[in-house]
Each structure stands twice: as C-alpha cells, then as structure tokens.
Amino acid sequence: MIEKRIVDELIRIVGKDDVLTEDEDLASYSFDGTTNWVHKPDVVVFPTSPQEISEILKLANKRRIPVTPRGAGTNVSGGSIPIKGGIVLCTTKMNRILKIDKENLMATVEPGVVLMDFNVALAKEGLFFPPDPQSFLAATMGGVIAENGGGPACVKYGVTKQYVLGLEVVLPIGEIIEVGGVTMKNVTGYDLTMLFTGSEGTLGVISKANLVVKPLPQATKTLMVVFDDVAVAGENVYHVLSSGVVPSKIELLDNWVINSIERLQPMGLPKDAGALLLFEVDGVPEAVEKEAKQVEEVCRKYGARDVRVAKDKAEADRYWTARRAGFAAVFSAAPTVLAEDVTVPRNKIPDLIRKVDEVCKARGIEYSVIGHAGDGNLHPSLLTDMRDKESFQKAQEAMGMIIEYAVELGGVLSGEHGIGLEKKKFLKKAMDPIAIELMKGIKKIVDPNNILNPGKIWEEAEEA
C-alpha cells in the first residue's frame, strides 16, 4: 500500500485529475489481454510530458516503488500487469503525432498515439506504418514498440524493430535520453535503440519515437485458399514462398476457428474446411495480378480444394474481418485460454501443427491454431478453466510440451507477444544461460533498484 504522501506527490507532479486511487479504477488497470493474470496497482498516473515521467520515476526510484509502464493494455503476455503492485504509469494521454515527413519517409509520435489513428493520418499523405498487430484499433505506439509488435504484414514488411529510427526514453532513475536518430543508416556505437525496442517496459519508458513509414501500395489482391487438412495448408506456405512470390500477408485459420467465427458472425466461410490460408499480395497492379495468379497455381498444385480470389475491396475486407475475428472467437470460447505465439522455421509449420493435434487430443483438450503462417508465427490456443485444477494442469502441461517442441524445431518462445509473465518459466529452456545473465546484468545497470516492470521476462530467485 502506497503512503498518502506519495500519492500527494504524484498529484503535485501530474495534477489531481491524472491520478487514480479508487478501487474500481485500479481494477481497470489490473489485467491485460491474457485471461489468467490479474493484480491491482496501488495508484495509476497519467503523465503528459517526458518531464512528468522523469519526476514520477525519480520519486519511485528513491522510494523503491514498483512502476509498470502501460499503454492500452492490449498485450497478451501479462507484460503490463502490475504484478508487484505500486504505480501504473499510463502514457495514453501523450497522444500527439508530432511530425509526418513524407520526403524522408519518417514520422515522429508520442507513445500514446493509437496505431489506427496513426495510419489514418499517414493515409492522408499516401503512407502507412506496416506492423499491424490484431489490436491495432486500440494499441498505442509506445506499447507496439516496447513489445516489438508484429502482425499479418510481417511476412513481407518485418516487425516493429525494422521501423524504429530513434527513441526518447526516460530511464528508471529519471534521466531522459535520446538514442538513435532520424536517418535510415546509423552505426554509431552500440544499437541502444534496439535495446529498448522489445524490452517490454523493463528498461525505460518511451516518451517519443522516430519511425520509418512506407508509401501505400498501388494495388492489393486477396485470396482465400481452402484445404481439407491443416497441415497441408501449412506446407503450402513454404511452397508459395519458394516459388518466388512474397505476399504481404499469409494467415492461417483452422477448422475450429472457422466454425467459431461463423457461429458468432456468419461470413460465408466454408465450415467443412480443414483450414484456410488468406493471402494478400500488393505492389504495382501488373505485378499484383501476376503474383496472385502464381499463388493460386501453386496452391492448386499442392492440395488446395478451392481458391477464391476476392473480386473487390468489399469482399477482401470481409475475409480480413474474419481473420481479425479469430482471436475474439478463441478468447470468448472458454473461461481461461492459454494462447501462445511460438515461431518456427516455415518448413516446420506442418510438424508443429501435427504436434499440437497429437498432444491435445491425447489429453482431451479443445484447441485451435491460428496465426501468421507466412513468417512461421503460430498461435496455438488451448481452452481450459483455471478454476478446474485438473483441466488447467493438463492444459499447462500440454502447452509446455508444444513450446518445448517448437524450440526443438529451431523455433523461439515468442514471435511478437513478448515473454512477460506468460512465458518466463520457459526462458531458461530456450535461451543460453549466459545470455539470460547478460540481460539481467543490463537490467541491473539501467535499473539498479529494479523498480521498472519487475517480475517480467525471467524468473526471479524465489520463483526458479
């Protein structure tokens, strides 16, 4: 419990309207997009400048108060949950787009800018920001950068780290620093910009970002490809890519997801399909037509039952709306959902899918597989209820086996969601112990009192 004088000091820094202490308010900041982690903070503060963030962190560092940085809380790793209590530092009121520089294809934003709002503003200039996590309607840029967000377009355009030129960051000790810059090429010393990108709010609070943006493609085309078997769908990912076509998006939906979407919001998806692959190709019109035809030919050659090419934007939007509805279908299907985002080499996708099926069927666990198949990033989701200890334990054991198998295949624990609370118990199985100690050492240097988002990424001594 934070002392009243600390709350009074926070009110002095940001103003009374930007400090929350009522139980119902605190409850709103006690969870994120996961379903099995909840912990109330003692107080929530909304800074509106780097200087206010600095003062908050100086106070917290002096008093050894945990601080959890937070944006919209759409993350699904437990990363923004204040597991140690203390202060939630929410940056949603720092929501200005400071600059859009079309000549240099870059923009500068504050951390509270909503990704959708950013892309709406960019579109007016004929530009876009490629990383597109499914939470784009609410996700804020600070969180997208801190979690190194991905999304469907990563197969062609890459994840967030490819788009961060420079950052203004407030360190846990309260110092405000700038790393990186505004130029496309910068090899000046260690790449500190990348150190903070994807650090999950454990090393600093992002207060400003210089970002790469791209010209909007002249044309796009969407294809929905139907398969009888989900593993065969997975095989078609690398068949298409090895044919020389790099679509902007390749998304996988299994039969469970297809039927759940149709039950919640009928869209005309083939309910008897084993799986769907959604492709989008983009670029100049002539190339788009040629590449779409090549995708269709490859998929038909390698086992597709049907290929539907969207005849117009409305039909394409309907397909992508179905894809976005997939996560809602999964997370609304059970009281507790264990949803991961393991990533494997693309030619190992079928192996991982078969393993998920084997492990879950053997234990009577309902599951689904959805994900960004184009870059090997799959989201196996196991449906359970943490109130049923036996069911929950089985699901946890099954997910552990799936994650370990993904690592055996040459994969990684996370492609875009981060480690947070969800996957930290697996970290020592997936990363060199010396590398983990190196990360801990960096954390100790930057945050000597361990106030910033403590308890995340790796297990602490009492948990190990």
Cα 126 off chain centre by: 25
Evaluate whether 243 touches 263 at the Cβ level (below 8 Å): no
Average pLDDT over residues 192-199: 97
Q: Which domains does the chain have, with CATH numbers?
A: 4-90 (3.30.43.10), 97-215 (3.30.465.10), 219-332 (3.30.70.3450), 334-419 (3.30.70.2740)
> pLDDT class for 461, splitting at 50, 70, 90?
confident
Average pLDDT over residues 21-36: 93
- In the predicted model, is pLDDT for residue 414 greater than 90? no
> pLDDT class for 304, splitting at 50, 70, 90?
very high
Please tell me the predicted confidence (pLDDT) of residue 464: 57
| 238-284 pLDDT per residue, tens | 999 999 999 999 999 999 999 988 888 888 889 999 999 999 999 99
Please tell me the predicted confidence (pLDDT) of residue 326: 81
| 363-412 pLDDT per residue, tens | 999 999 988 888 889 999 999 999 999 999 999 999 999 999 999 999 99
- In the predicted model, is pLDDT for residue 332 greater than 90? no
Average pLDDT over residues 51-69: 98
**Residue 186 is encoded by which pair of tokens?**
């910068």
Q: How many CB atoms are closer than 10 A to CB 17?
A: 8
| 214-241 pLDDT per residue, tens | 999 999 999 999 999 999 999 999 999 9
Average pLDDT, the chain: 94
Q: What percent of the chain has pLDDT over 70?
A: 99
Please tell me the predicted confidence (pLDDT) of residue 10: 98
Three-state SS letters, the chain: CCCHHHHHHHHHHHCHHHEECCHHHHHHCCCCCCCCCCCCCCEEECCCCHHHHHHHHHHHHHHCCCEEEECCCCCCCCCCCCCCCCEEEECCCCCCEEEEECCCCEEEECCCCEHHHHHHHHHCCCEECCCCCCCCCCCEHHHHHHCCCCCCCHHHHCCHHHHEEEEEEECCCCCEEEEECCCCCCCCCCCHHHHHCCCCCCCCEEEEEEEECEECCCEEEEEEEEECCHHHHHHHHHHHHHCCCCCCEEEEEEHHHHHHHHHHCCCCCCCCCCEEEEEEEEECHHHHHHHHHHHHHHHHHCCCCEEEECCCHHHHHHHHHHHHHHHHHHHCCCCEEEECECECCHHHHHHHHHHHHHHHHHHCCCEEEEEEHHHCEEEEEEEECCCCHHHHHHHHHHHHHHHHHHHHCCCECECCCCCCCCCHHHHHHHCCHHHHHHHHHHHHHHCCCCCECCCCCCCCCCCC
Average pLDDT over residues 285-291: 97
| 98-142 pLDDT per residue, tens | 999 999 999 999 999 999 999 999 999 999 999 998 888 999 999
Please tell me the predicted confidence (pLDDT) of residue 321: 87
